[in-house]
Amino acid sequence: MTGAKGANGVNFGADGHLWISGGDQNVVYHAPPTGGAATVFASGYAIVTSDTTMPVRAYVTNGLGIDSKGAIYTGNTGTGEITRIEVRPGHQAGNITSFAKDTRLTGADGIVVTVGDTLYVTANFSNTIAKIDPAGNVTVLATDDAHETLRFPAELKKVGGTVYVANLNFPVGRNAGQTAKGATIAALELP
């Protein structure tokens, strides 16, 4: 697949089609199972926060999850909003709605959709992992101000009751003041 400027989160739909979030490009891309050039699926739907102290505010389409109905979810890192995009026949964008918005999700980065359409989200600036139920209710599962396990968490994968988190270890937000060097992978047992 080529042509997905700012590629960030990637995921395959049940039909084998590839979906890519465009990070700071405010776009979601789509490519068929055969690969090739990515096409724009949805664009311009996310806002950049006016808070200029937020260093990651330009990343308005971070992470990418797909629910059991094929809807696409992306995270706005600067605002803590999770957006849901309906996928219509022909892989066309339908309704684009705010699924959840919470200051505890500031830094929304990685998104995984699990059984029952429950979302797990890493919030790098907040040094947090949260769960969002199908109604959009946010529950913080882990926050780490001691920087022992979470250090600016980005991408995540859930296997059974374990969530594996890629920590970028950038010293900003709630991760400011940490002394560890380099990226790490953390394994957390979560409900």
pLDDT in tens, 76-85: 999 999 999 9
Which is higher by pLDDT, 140 or 56? 140
Instruction: Provide the strand spans (E) within 59-152.
Output: 62-66, 72-76, 81-88, 92-101, 108-114, 118-123, 128-132, 138-143
Overall average pLDDT of the 161-174 stretch: 93
The per-residue b/e assignment along 161-175, b for 16 or more CB within 10 angstroms, e otherwise, is eebebbbbbbebbbb
Global pTM?
A: 0.95
Overall average pLDDT of the 160-175 stretch: 93
- Tokens 């959840």 belong to residue: 100
The per-residue b/e assignment along 13-24, b for 16 or more CB within 10 angstroms, e otherwise, is eeeebbbbbbbb
- Tens of pLDDT, residue by residue over 170-189, are 999 999 988 888 999 999 99
Residue 118 is predicted with a pLDDT of 96
- Tokens 């594996």 belong to residue: 164
- Tens of pLDDT, residue by residue over 60-114, are 999 999 999 999 999 999 999 999 999 999 999 999 999 999 999 999 999 999 9
Residue 191 has pLDDT above 80, yes or no: no
Which is higher by pLDDT, 140 or 190? 140
The per-residue b/e assignment along 119-158, b for 16 or more CB within 10 angstroms, e otherwise, is bbbbbbbbbbbbbbeeeeebeeebebeebebbbbbbbbeb
Residue 126 is predicted with a pLDDT of 95
What's the mean pLDDT when you consider all of the chain? 95
- Tokens 């964008």 belong to residue: 93
